[in-house]
Amino acid sequence: SIVAVDVQPSAEDDRVVGVIGSVADPAVADEAVRTAIDRFGGLHVVANVAGILRTANAHEHSLEMWQQVLDVNLTGTFLVCKAAIPVLLEGGGGAIVNQSSDTVLASRIDSGNGRLKPSGVFAKCPSPTCAVFLPPVSGDNEKPNTGD
């Protein structure tokens, strides 16, 4: 079952519920997590796959355009994780997958096409896909259960 966040309304059925808004909005990230709990009884996996690309010559790139990309691609990932992690831990663990685009492999001020491509999520991950697994917790102290 899936809760999908998008700025455009999406088709829904018994297994897919849409939340309209931007992942860069803390209220939308919180709503998506609450929707998963209310509609499907919990949260086990989070996939951060939202992303936008705005291109311009580096010296012509506006601060507003730059901020839009950072807000969706970086802040959105942070906000969704921030909303989801307490729920995942409370449920005994889970997984978070942060997906970036392979276009980030060429992210430089001059990436061959003279364009600026901000892409900080990739800088935090060893490959275009970064999975974060939250181990089960044991007891009331919420420390990872290492099997000891």
Sequential pLDDT tens for the chain (148 residues): 888 888 887 777 888 888 999 999 999 999 999 999 999 999 999 988 888 888 788 888 899 998 998 998 899 999 999 999 999 999 988 888 888 664 544 444 444 444 444 433 333 333 344 444 444 444 444 444 344 4
State the Cα–Cα distance between residues 123 and 100, nearest whole angstrom.
10
The pTM is what?
0.69
**Between vectors from CA 75 to CA 2 and to CA 143, what angle results, nearest 5°?**
70
Q: Token pair 């966040």 is at which residue? A: 5
Confidence (pLDDT) at 103: 52
Q: Token pair 């507003």 is at which residue? A: 64
Confidence (pLDDT) at 117: 44
Q: 3-state DSSP call for residue 100?
A: coil
